[in-house]
């Protein structure tokens, strides 16, 4: 059975007080819930410490939104894998489209970050996804194949056990226009086939593939009930404890997994 993961990507939102408030409200909302998905919360770097404290003793995991691929040195403003490990961070998001688009992260940089995270014992949420013009131009699969193959080349099957892929079509991020369950399923099945070709069927079959892009309480269950959709990476709707809890509680995994 594949691991199911629902993650909150807060992006550049929430200070330390808002983070504490969210976590206590979310924990209350989740009392008595039996969704078997792992829940990951990814605050900004500045709130990781307070989030780690607030999450102590809970089943919810802490994630970061980025890392640098060097261990230390003259890289003003950057954060290393070791720094994240010292904050009890378990997951790190790598290659989010906003990083690729606004901070010029190339496939090569994404590949270096994935490798550094894995050798540092961090679990990776690797984001991939096509733009609207790429979808309209019929090159979605080509783009996904490139974005998957670049960072996964050279990884072992063991590395793959610590890596999750998030399919996030750029046109669905923050737009309120989610991919249809069919579009998500098609892309996820394609990504799984690329991984099967690179590794083997077992590695592909056990890979968790999350969907991200305008996931909301009212569309989550339908998206998550697709056979190759193993979780969600939620932006805007993860900023409120009640709406994120609704998404987590609506997961249909108990019935299918």
**Nearest CB to ligand 13P, comparing residues 92 and 233:** 233
The rounded distance, in Å, linking the Cα atoms of 251 and 101 is 31
The rounded distance, in Å, linking the Cα atoms of 215 and 228 is 16
The token duo for 84 is: 């994240």
For residues 63 and 30, the answer to whether their CB atoms sit within 8 Å is no
Minimum Å gap between C-beta 244 and ligand 13P is: 10
**Nearest CB to ligand 13P, comparing residues 122 and 215:** 215
- Residue 193 phi/psi, 5-degree rounding, is -70, -35
Minimum Å gap between C-beta 156 and ligand 13P is: 26
Handedness of CA 14, 19, 24, 28 (dihedral sign): positive
Q: Tell the burial category of 75 from Cβ atoms under 10 Å away from its Cβ (0-12, 13-18, 19+).
A: exposed
**Nearest CB to ligand 13P, comparing residues 9 and 226:** 9
**Nearest CB to ligand 13P, comparing residues 29 and 168:** 168
Minimum Å gap between C-beta 9 and ligand 13P is: 4
Which residues belong to the active site? 96, 168
User: Which residues make up the interface to ligand 13P (CB under 6 A)?
Assistant: 9, 96, 168, 173-174, 212-215, 233-237
Minimum Å gap between C-beta 197 and ligand 13P is: 26
For residues 238 and 20, the answer to whether their CB atoms sit within 8 Å is no
The rounded distance, in Å, linking the Cα atoms of 129 and 134 is 10
Q: 3-state class of 202 per DSSP? A: helix
**Nearest CB to ligand 13P, comparing residues 183 and 214:** 214
Minimum Å gap between C-beta 13 and ligand 13P is: 10
Neighbours of 164 (CB within 10 A): 25
* Residue of this chain nearest to ligand 13P (CB atom): 235
């Amino acid at each position: 059975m594949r691991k199911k993961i629902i993650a909150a990507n807060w992006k550049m939102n929430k200070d330390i007080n808002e983070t504490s408030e969210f976590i206590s409200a979310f924990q209350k909302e989740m009392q008595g819930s039996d969704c078997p998905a792992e829940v990951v919360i990814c605050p900004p770097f500045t709130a990781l410490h307070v989030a780690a404290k607030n999450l102590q003793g809970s089943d919810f995991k802490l994630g970061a939104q980025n890392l640098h691929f060097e261990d230390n040195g003259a890289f003003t403003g950057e954060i290393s894998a070791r720094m994240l490990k010292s904050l009890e961070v378990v997951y790190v998001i790598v290659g989010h489209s906003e990083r690729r688009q606004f901070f010029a992260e190339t496939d090569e940089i994404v590949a270096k970050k994935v490798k550094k995270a894995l050798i540092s014992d961090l679990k990776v949420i690797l984001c991939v996804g096509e733009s609207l013009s790429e979808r309209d131009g019929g090159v979605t699969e080509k783009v996904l194949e490139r974005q998957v193959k670049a960072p996964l080349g050279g990884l072992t099957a063991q590395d793959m056990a610590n890596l999750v892929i998030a399919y996030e079509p750029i046109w669905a991020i923050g737009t309120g226009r989610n991919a249809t369950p069919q579009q998500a399923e098609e892309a996820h099945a394609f990504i799984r086939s690329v991984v099967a070709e690179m590794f083997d069927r077992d590695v592909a079959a056990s890979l968790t593939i999350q969907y991200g892009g305008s996931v909301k309480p009212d569309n989550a269950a339908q998206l998550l009930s697709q056979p190759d959709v193993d979780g969600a990476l939620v932006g805007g709707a993860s900023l409120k404890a009640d709406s994120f809890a609704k998404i987590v509680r609506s997961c249909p995994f108990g019935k299918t997994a």
